[in-house]
Amino acid sequence: MTAEGAGALRSNVAHWRALQDADYFENHQCYGGLKAFGRDATDTLARFLSLRPDMQVAVVGCGYGRDTLQIAPQVAHVYGIDVSARILTKAHRFLEEHGVRNFTPVLAELWRDGIPDGIDLVFSIVVMQHLTRDLVRDYFAGFARKLAPGGSMVIQFLESRGYGQQDAELATYEPSVNWTCWDIMDLAEAVGLQAEIRTDRVAETALWHWGHFRRPA
C-alpha cells in the first residue's frame, strides 16, 4: 500500500471512530437506537448457503450487534470487527442482554491477529460502501487466507446513481463508495476467490450487489 493509501485508510478509521463517539446508531435516522430489527443477515445468507452449528463466523463492521444477533444462535462462534472499544462494548452488552454468549469483539486495527484461521463464513452488510477501496482490498486479501477450505464470504456492496460517486476519504459525513459488478469480480479474482453476485434494487437510485465469494474445498 502507498503512503497516501495508508494515510487515507487511517483517516477513514478515525472518521468512523468519531462517528461512533457521537453515538452514530442512536442518532441515525434508519437505526434510531440500539434495537433488534430486520432479518437482512439470515434471510440473505439463506439465499447462498445454510448456517451450521459448527461454523466459525466473522462479521465485518458488526456495529452494535444487529446482524450478529440473527446469526449467532445458529453457529458455533461469531467474531465481530468494528472500529472502537466504545462500539464493541455496546455490541457486547446488547448481545448479552439478548442471550448471546458466543461473541468475541475484535478491534478493526487488530483484526488480523484477533481472528483465527479456519473461518467458515464472513458476513458484512452496509459496511464496504463506507470504507476506502484499499481497506476493502485489505479485508479481502486477509480473509482469503483465513477462510477454511470450502469457506465463504457473503458481502454487500452499494452501487448508486448520483449520491455516492465520490471516494470515501472525500465525503464529509458517511463516506460512500460505489462498487460495480466488474469491480467486485476483479476484487475476487485478485485474492483467488470464486465469485457469484446477486443484485437487488433497494431504492430508486441504489443497487445492492451481494457477493458470495468461495474458497474452493
Ligand X SMILES: C[S@@+](CC[C@H](N)C(=O)[O-])C[C@H]1O[C@@H](n2cnc3c(N)ncnc32)[C@H](O)[C@@H]1O
**Cell digits of residue 64:** 452494535
Question: Interacting stretch for ligand X, rule CB under 6 A, among 46-54, 63-71, 144-152, 199-207?
Answer: 63-71
| Residue 66 interacts with ligand X (CB under 6 A): yes or no | yes
| Choice between 56 and 132, CB closer to ligand X | 132
Total number of residues binding ligand X (CB under 6 A)?
19
The span from the CA of 77 to the CA of 163, in Å, is 37
DSSP output for 159-196: EESSTT-S-GGG-SSS------HHHHHHHHHHTT-EEE
**Interacting residue with ligand X among 45, 51, 78, 108 (CB under 6 A):** 108
CB of 108 to ligand X, least distance (A): 4
| Residue 121 interacts with ligand X (CB under 6 A): yes or no | no
| Choice between 24 and 48, CB closer to ligand X | 24
| Residue 127 interacts with ligand X (CB under 6 A): yes or no | yes
| Choice between 16 and 79, CB closer to ligand X | 16
| Residue 125 interacts with ligand X (CB under 6 A): yes or no | yes
Which residue blocks in the chain are alpha helix, DSSP H?
3-21, 24-27, 40-48, 66-71, 85-97, 111-114, 133-146, 181-190
CB 65 within 8 A of CB 31: no
**Interacting residue with ligand X among 81, 119, 128, 177 (CB under 6 A):** 81
Measured distance between the N- and C-terminal CA atoms of the chain, rounded to whole angstroms: 30
CB 81 within 8 A of CB 145: no
| Residue 83 interacts with ligand X (CB under 6 A): yes or no | yes
By the criterion CB under 6 A, which residues form the site for ligand X?
Answer: 13, 16, 20, 60-61, 63, 66-67, 81-83, 87, 108, 125-127, 130-131, 135
